[in-house]
Amino acid sequence: MTDNLDAASLNSTASATARRMMRSALPAVSLAVMLLAIAWLNPRAISYMGFNLMLSLAIPVALATVAQLFVIAVNDLDLSVGFFVSFVACVTVTWLNDSPALGIALLLGGILVYAAVGALVYLRDLPSIVVTLGMSFVWQGLALMVLPKPGGQAPAWLQSLMKLQTPLIPFPVVAAVLIGFVVHLGLMQTSYGTIMRGAGGNPNSVRRAGWSILKIKMLAFALAGLFGVLSGMALVGLSTAADASIGAGYTLLAIAGVILGGGEFVGGRVSPIGAVIGALTLTLASSSLLSFMRIPPDWQIGANGVILVVVLAARALLGSREG
């Protein structure tokens, strides 16, 4: 009887482990399915040049997704990242190009404002959704002040960087791997990264252990601001010009990328590598797969939503079976 119970327990544990592994693999499976579909619709796209074209915009999307990931890691949500990316883009094509010192100061100021938002959310116990929604209007207004009409010029060095041709593996793929690895190393493999995620999962325990939740929130939001700056600059390097709404759609893309990559809105549960894979998947879906399928542009946002819902449904199904 005891042997039967032990065998049943082992089988149950093995089954639960297999389901957890399947949930973790969902982002990679989604990306693989996307690539297979593109290869079937247009085999010529699966090439060095094809990946360069399809994934060029994946770099700023991945950076914006990582920015959102840091905020979600501490149990908050940033609804301003898209317009912050737009603000950064406008500063990059104007002040950073014409007066680099002033441009750098403005970008650093944007990161400090992000840290201040994190402090405000914590100290006043305000919903981050409300505060960052308000900040989205602030960033949009500042972007319009910096660049009232579309135009400007990206710095030559930034254009050269974003057009870099790496041997064998396309630059967007190299950049995505590097972004995912660096953020994974910092957030998942360091002690302070563990504490930061712990602040999102169980802030009371982290506080009792002697860590300042205020400092953690400020750092998380500052890192979000840093990656938002990198996203805006990367976007400008690709587009060579900017306008006050160039990154408006990045807010929803960033949230979708984090969730598609295995992250959750509560508990500090995030996956940097999964988030980058989610960003790649969404980029491929919007820029390539849906175009090859001749889906009208007006329908493409909805199609991205369908992809996200399907993946989340699969994840929820595996989770329910695991329970």
* Residues 3-49 pLDDT 10s: 554 555 555 555 555 556 666 677 888 888 888 888 888 888 888 88
pTM above 0.85, yes or no: yes
Dihedral sign for Cα atoms in the order 316, 62, 287, 132 = positive
Cα gap 45→54, rounded to integer Å: 8
SS3 154: coil
Poorest-confidence range of 22-36, 56-70, 205-219? Answer: 22-36
Q: What's the token pair of residue 179?
A: 């972004």
pLDDT in tens, 177-207: 999 999 999 999 999 999 999 998 889 999 9
- Mean pLDDT confidence for 98-119: 96
Contacts of 13 (CB under 8 A, 6+ apart): none
Indicate the Cα dihedral angle 65, 59, 286, 133, nearest 10°.
30
Mean pLDDT calculated for residue range 73-96: 96
Q: Would you say residue 169 has pLDDT above 70?
A: yes
Question: To the nearest whole percent, how much of the chain has pLDDT over 90?
Answer: 59
Query: Does 303 score more than 70 pLDDT?
Result: no
Q: CA-to-CA distance for 268 and 262, rounded, in angstroms? A: 11
- Which DSSP letter does residue 56 get? T
Looking at residue 177, its pLDDT comes to 94
Q: State phi, psi for 208 to the nearest 5 degrees.
A: -65, -25
Q: Which amino acid is at 176?
A: A
Q: Which of 87, 63, 224 is nearest to 146 (CA)?
A: 87
Residue 172: both structure tokens together: 């967007």
Mean pLDDT of the chain: 86
Q: How many CB atoms lie within 10 A of CB 235?
A: 26
CB 282 within 8 A of CB 253: yes
Angle value at C-alpha 38, between 61 and 252, nearest 5 degrees: 25
| Domains of the chain, CATH where assigned | 28-39+50-315 (1.10.3470)
d(CA 243, CA 94): 11
Amino acid at 202: N
The neighbouring-strand residues paired with 242 are 151
Cα(153)–Cα(97) distance, integer angstroms = 7
pLDDT of residue 259: 87
| pLDDT confidence bin for 260, thresholds 50/70/90 | confident
Scanning the structure block, which residue is given the tokens 């305000």? 126
> CA angle, 217 as apex, 212 and 219 as ends, to 5°?
95
pLDDT digits (tens, 9 = 90+) for 71-83: 999 999 999 999 9
Q: What is the mean pLDDT of residues 74-99?
A: 95
Residue range 259-281: mean pLDDT, rounded: 86
Question: Which pLDDT band, with edges at 50, 70 and 90, does 302 fall under?
Answer: low
pLDDT value at 320 more than 90: no
